[in-house]
Chain A
Amino acid sequence: MPSENIDTNALKDNLQDNAAKLAAVLNTVTDAIITMNQYGIIESFNRSAEHIFGYRAEEVIGENVKILMPEPYHSEHDGYLHHYLSTGNKKVIGVGREVQAKRKNGNVFFMELNVNEMNISGTTMFVGTIRDISEQKSAKQALEDNQATLQAIVDNTVDGLITIDEVGRVETFNKACEVLFGYRAADVIGHNVKMLMPESYHGEHDGYVKNYHASGTKKIIGNGRQVEGRKKDGTIFPMDLSISEVDIKGRKIYSGIIRDITELQEAQQRLAAVLDNTVDGLITIDENGRIEHYNKACEAIFGYQASEAVGQNVKILMPEPYHSEHDGYLKNYHNTGAKKIIGSGREVVGLRKDGNTFPLDLSVSEVNVQGRKLYSGIVRDISVRKKSEADIKQANSELEEFAYRTSHDLRSPLISSIGLLDIVTHYIQQGEIDGALASIGLIQASLGKLEDLVKDILTITKVQHVEEDSQCINVQLFLDDTIDKIKHMPNFARLDITYDLRFHGDISLPKNTFALIIENLLTNAIKYQDLTKNNSFIRVSTYRNKTNLVLEVSDNGLGIPKDQHQNLFKMFKRFHPKTSFGSGLGLYLMKKSVDKLHGQLHFKEIEGETRFIVVLPQ
């Protein structure tokens, strides 16, 4: 049957032509197309499939399709197939889904798989169309990962982070904010951010937002500032807030970063309190010398209140020449960087508001605060210390002199007595009783001097260390009593004693100390009278000067040699050794007593008259 043959041949040719066309199409599509029979055996495997899976077509054709699957699908696939063929229950057929596949090199990847069932000449076949979505998939994964990371970062930042939309509604509220404000994120998100502000800010905030939208004027955006926040429990706390504006696809949101500065502020307040209450003065000045800070101790030291001092040039606290030179110092330092006092302490002179100057210890350091140069000075009033130093030095040198002199003056009469006893012995051996008696007389005098000295030394100790209460003393009666006590002294009778008591009432003074002063004045005048004169006199006068009692004792006695005036009130000074052997302590004692009563003792020599003037405050 040629026609039949022709027909059959034509049909065959036609079919072969179609198959080639189909194969060409299959090999040019980007999707992988795999066909398999009902047993899962691969029958065709196009070029894209080769590309995706890494197998050549001839390697896989005839193999079970499960070689293209990772576990557990690899083991389960035969089961799926059997189940479908026996029950008709479709799992994957006709439905696109994402599944995992395995390349020849063993890599597992995501693919989008569509499976369709074909029936060709009663034989069931399956066609799988596969698209490799691994790149798509990992990009999506990365995005998700990124978001998760970002979320984690946002949640875990120590600082609070809030974002709001253009009308002020909260969109983000991180974990730190939850801790800070005491609200759960869910309580806040979607609400106006004002709920996190104290009442007083509410109106302002609406104003800010409105104003910013209308005029573009930024009040806070882009700058940090200190504001107050309100916790869920109503507590108001200080916080640092910085806001930035973010544009996301034409939508504006505002993000705020919040830091609780309660502790910082408390620390600042504590510091300020400490600074205010230090014993040392603390002054801070700017580059031009203007006082910026001046603590409480400074008020006590300088006498200016902080309100008076702050803003003034620091030179108001300095006497001349520093007052005039200080601006120059500062300028010089700015220009040359040559430090005179910065970084080192030194002793300088300060000026109080009342005009008095005083020694002070000053140490200056340079501080940079936010790009601004400040100088901080610590000042300590050392006038008390200086005074004490001087007092101690004085006491020390007196003590040295005292030890030296007492060792000499105490030994002298003893040594003399020992020598005299030898002489007495000698006289007695020679039977010269008169000589012996004369020497014994000298021994008595010598020991008498020793006794006087010891008494004076004891008095010094008393004057310096024994506290005595004031009592009421009548000046006139007291003078009379003193004269009564001393009128047995040699040559008392030849003196003409006159009184000029312009004040003769009552005073309040420590009696023994006052007695020591008066007795010393009078006994000195008696002891050191000039026996060559026949009009020897003592004149005692008293008067009030302001609140002081002034007592003057004048005489025309021997006086004090001019070159000895500077030694007048020093220990162990004797000016008339031939006239009287005193201990040399009398005037010293008197001076100490006057000092103890906070008074003054002056000495004047006017026209042959010696005058001691005692001024005692009442």
Chain B
Amino acid sequence: MTVGSILIVDDSDIDQFILKFMIEKYDADITILQAYDGREALDILESLASPPELIFLDINMPRMNGHEFLKVYESLPQHDSAVIMLSSSDEESDRQQSLAYQSVKQYRTKPIAKADVERIVRGE
């Protein structure tokens, strides 16, 4: 799979920075889109001509958290992006709740290794 753009939804500047760093090291041509909460992510998605292939989604965020985002996202006419949950929560309830969404392909807990990020981007 060729990935043109990836949306990172995370309220932490640092986690944004780390993930962005890993992705750019793997393929500097990928466009990185950044949102700091679910609301902002929805705004960005709405403004795009073509949706990102991947969305890395955190759970605990102000305004609109990951779960709330997924609920709205899946009700949108277009919701084809593969969502990778990336949370520091290893609560089973968070995992279950997330994987119940059709768009959610994987549930990962932070920290995520560089190799794992690369595999995800490659679509493995």
CB-defined contacts of A408 to chain B, threshold 8 Å: 60, 87-89
CB-defined contacts of A578 to chain B, threshold 8 Å: 36
Q: How far is the CA of A423 from the CA of B112 in the complex (A)?
A: 13
B76 on the interface (CB 8 Å rule)?
Answer: no
Q: How far is the CA of A411 from the CA of B91 in the complex (A)?
A: 13
Given that A412-B12, A422-B114 are contacting pairs, would A577 and B37 also be in contact in the complex, using a CB cutoff of 8 Å?
Answer: yes
B111 touches A418 (CB 8 A): yes
B14 touches A442 (CB 8 A): yes
Q: How far is the CA of A412 from the CA of B21 in the complex (A)?
A: 17
CB-defined contacts of B60 to chain A, threshold 8 Å: 405, 408-409
Q: How far is the CA of A561 from the CA of B62 in the complex (A)?
A: 11
CB-defined contacts of B91 to chain A, threshold 8 Å: 404
A575 touches B114 (CB 8 A): no
Return the contact of B15 from the options A409, A416, A445 (Cβ within 8 A). Answer: A416
A577 touches B62 (CB 8 A): yes
Q: How far is the CA of A446 from the CA of B13 in the complex (A)?
A: 9
Given that A407-B89, A418-B111, A422-B114 are contacting pairs, would A412 and B15 also be in contact in the complex, using a CB cutoff of 8 Å?
Answer: yes
B101 on the interface (CB 8 Å rule)?
Answer: no
Question: How near does chain B come to A280, taking the closest CB pair, in angstroms?
Answer: 43
Chain A interface helix/strand/loop/mixed: helix
Residue of B nearest to A435 (CB): B21
Q: How far is the CA of A46 from the CA of B72 in the complex (A)?
A: 137
Residue of B nearest to A564 (CB): B63
Q: How far is the CA of A419 from the CA of B18 in the complex (A)?
A: 7
Q: How far is the CA of A426 from the CA of B22 in the complex (A)?
A: 11
A577 touches B88 (CB 8 A): no
B11 touches A577 (CB 8 A): yes
Given that A404-B91, A442-B14 are contacting pairs, would A574 and B110 also be in contact in the complex, using a CB cutoff of 8 Å?
Answer: no
Question: How near does chain B come to A114, taking the closest CB pair, in angstroms?
Answer: 122
Q: How far is the CA of A423 from the CA of B20 in the complex (A)?
A: 11
Q: How far is the CA of A426 from the CA of B21 in the complex (A)?
A: 11
A416 touches B12 (CB 8 A): yes
Q: How far is the CA of A467 from the CA of B27 in the complex (A)?
A: 58
Question: How near does chain A come to B63, taking the closest CB pair, in angstroms?
Answer: 7
A573 on the interface (CB 8 Å rule)?
Answer: yes
Residue of B nearest to A574 (CB): B62
Give the A-B contact count at a CB cut-off of 8 A.
Answer: 64
Interface size on A, residues (CB 8 A): 29
A550 on the interface (CB 8 Å rule)?
Answer: no
Residue of A nearest to B39 (CB): A561
Q: How far is the CA of A422 from the CA of B110 in the complex (A)?
A: 14
Residue of B nearest to A410 (CB): B88
Question: How near does chain A come to B37, taking the closest CB pair, in angstroms?
Answer: 7
CB-defined contacts of B88 to chain A, threshold 8 Å: 408, 411-412, 415
A415 touches B63 (CB 8 A): no
CB-defined contacts of B45 to chain A, threshold 8 Å: none
CB-defined contacts of B114 to chain A, threshold 8 Å: 422
Mark out the residues of chain A between 413 and 449 whose CB falls within 8 Å of any chain B CB in the assembled complex: 413, 415-416, 418-420, 422-423, 426, 442, 445-446
A418, A419, A564 pick with most chain B CB within 10 angstroms: A419
Return the contact of B17 from the options A407, A442, A561, A564 (Cβ within 8 A). Answer: A442
What per-residue 1/0 map shows which CB atoms of A580-616 lie under 8 Å from chain B? 0100100000000000000000000000000000000
B63 touches A423 (CB 8 A): no
A446 touches B14 (CB 8 A): yes
B18 touches A423 (CB 8 A): yes
Q: How far is the CA of A581 from the CA of B12 in the complex (A)?
A: 8
A415 touches B21 (CB 8 A): no
Given that A422-B114, A577-B61 are contacting pairs, would A416 and B18 also be in contact in the complex, using a CB cutoff of 8 Å?
Answer: yes
Q: How far is the CA of A426 from the CA of B36 in the complex (A)?
A: 26
CB-defined contacts of B37 to chain A, threshold 8 Å: 577
B111 touches A415 (CB 8 A): yes
Q: How far is the CA of A426 from the CA of B25 in the complex (A)?
A: 10
A420 touches B62 (CB 8 A): no
CB-defined contacts of A409 to chain B, threshold 8 Å: 60
Q: How far is the CA of A422 from the CA of B18 in the complex (A)?
A: 9
Question: How near does chain B come to A414, taking the closest CB pair, in angstroms?
Answer: 9
Mark out the residues of chain B between 1 and 50 whose CB falls within 8 Å of any chain A CB in the assembled complex: 11-15, 17-18, 21, 25, 36-37
CB-defined contacts of A405 to chain B, threshold 8 Å: 60
Q: How far is the CA of A561 from the CA of B37 in the complex (A)?
A: 14
CB-defined contacts of A577 to chain B, threshold 8 Å: 11, 36-37, 61-63
The interface of chain B, by Cβ under 8 A from chain A, is 11-15, 17-18, 21, 25, 36-37, 60-63, 87-89, 91, 110-112, 114
- Since A408-B60, A419-B110, A581-B13 are in contact, a sample of 11 more A-B pairs with Cβ atoms closer than 8 Å, ordered by chain A residue number, is A404-B89, A407-B89, A412-B88, A415-B111, A416-B110, A418-B111, A419-B18, A420-B14, A445-B14, A578-B36, A581-B12
A-B contact pairs, 25 of them (CB 8 A): A404-B89, A404-B91, A405-B60, A409-B60, A412-B12, A412-B110, A413-B14, A415-B15, A415-B88, A416-B14, A416-B15, A416-B18, A419-B110, A419-B111, A419-B112, A420-B14, A423-B21, A442-B13, A445-B14, A564-B63, A575-B62, A577-B11, A577-B62, A581-B12, A584-B62
The interface of chain A, by Cβ under 8 A from chain B, is 404-405, 407-409, 411-413, 415-416, 418-420, 422-423, 426, 442, 445-446, 561, 564, 573-578, 581, 584
